[in-house]
Amino acid sequence: MSPTPRAAPRWLPVAVDYGPLAIFFLAYVGAGLMAATAAIIAASLIGLALAWTLQRRVPLIPLLTAAVVAVFGGLTLWLQDETFIKMKPTIVQVLFAAILLGGLALDRPLLKPLLGRMMPPMSDAAWRRFTLRYALFFIAMALLNELVWRTQSTELWVTFKVFGLTGLTFLFILAQMPFITRESRLAGAASKPAAPGD
């Protein structure tokens, strides 16, 4: 019998999603990239354990991210080659894009079951467009990460990873607000019963 999920404390998603990133940056500033790599692996696993302890379930996105961090971070430490940890954001973004595009190919916009409870109602067509936007954003971020780590210094890449990718993600989410508002209004209007005599 599987354990019953519990309501998550409000701080938990933020801690699980952004705690490892903050620890990575602090460890890099204090001890360099290899120490930061070890720190983000440990912090990601601790975040998953914390989610399981407090919520009795592990969120899918942090789980996938932690798996990629463990593999590519482990290769970085084992081979003492920073290339692998620098590729990690690319792999994560491509993985998310592939999952979303695969869902669309099967006519299943996967963001709907993932985010539907937190968002106003939208039509299935709107969810497909919304999912495609996210997939294209992930692809763009993967390409941008490749450009930065291959052409810039490690210090600049770390700054980009911690602040640039996070900032661009927040800006992308804010840019979707007009679309969500418009589509939720259209869905609300379509769901209203016709007035007598119409």
Q: What is the pLDDT of residues 15-67, one digit of tens each?
A: 888 889 999 999 999 999 999 999 999 999 998 898 888 877 877 788 889 99
Residue 70 shares a structural domain with residue 95: no
Alpha-carbon span 93 to 56, nearest angstrom: 27
Which residues make Cβ contacts (< 8 Å) with residue 155, sequence separation at least 6? none
Residue 128 shares a structural domain with residue 70: no
Residue 86 shares a structural domain with residue 52: no
Q: With contact defined as beta carbons under 8 Å apart, do 72 and 87 qualify?
A: yes
Residue 102 shares a structural domain with residue 36: no
- Give this prediction's pTM: 0.85
Residue 67 shares a structural domain with residue 88: no
Number of domains in the chain: 2
pLDDT at 120 over 70: yes
- The reported pLDDT for the residue numbered 1 is 47
> Residue 105 has which token pair?
């190919």
Residue 115 shares a structural domain with residue 183: yes
Residue 198 lies in a domain: no
- The reported pLDDT for the residue numbered 7 is 63
Residue 17 lies in a domain: yes
- Domain hosting 154: range is 82-189
Q: With contact defined as beta carbons under 8 Å apart, do 97 and 142 qualify?
A: yes
Residue 156 shares a structural domain with residue 180: yes
- The reported pLDDT for the residue numbered 73 is 94
The residue out of 77, 92, 117 marking a domain boundary is 77
Residue 19 lies in a domain: yes
Alpha-carbon span 59 to 52, nearest angstrom: 9
